[in-house]
Amino acid sequence: MKLNVLAILTITSVFLVGCQSNDGQSKTTDSGYRCEQVTALGSNIPTKYCSTRKQREEARKRGAESLRNSQQQVLTGDDRR
């Protein structure tokens, strides 16, 4: 009986430590590689997304350029697509 209780406590502690180490927050390494849990719009299922520092910088630049282009279209009245 004592062995069963000890086994249950050991297994439970291993699961708790494993869950705590994988808490879904973004983690960055020294090389700039980062993984994070991302939930898509309209979904409750998170997926793991990993990227390098260079990929994140390029995505930011594309986003800023897209925003600038859409603002220019609104200001000039150019609705061509």
CB-CB contact of 49 with 36 (8 Å): yes
Is the pLDDT confidence value at 4 over 90? Answer: no
User: Which helix (H) or strand (E) segment is 50 a member of?
Assistant: strand 46-51
Q: How far apart are CA 54 and CA 78, in angstroms?
A: 33
What is the pTM (predicted TM-score) of this model?
0.51
Encode pLDDT of 16-72 as tens digits.
555 455 555 556 566 789 999 999 999 999 999 999 999 999 999 999 999 999 998
Q: pLDDT band at residue 73, thresholds of 50, 70 and 90? A: confident
The pLDDT of residue 65 is 96
Q: Greater confidence, 37 or 14?
A: 37
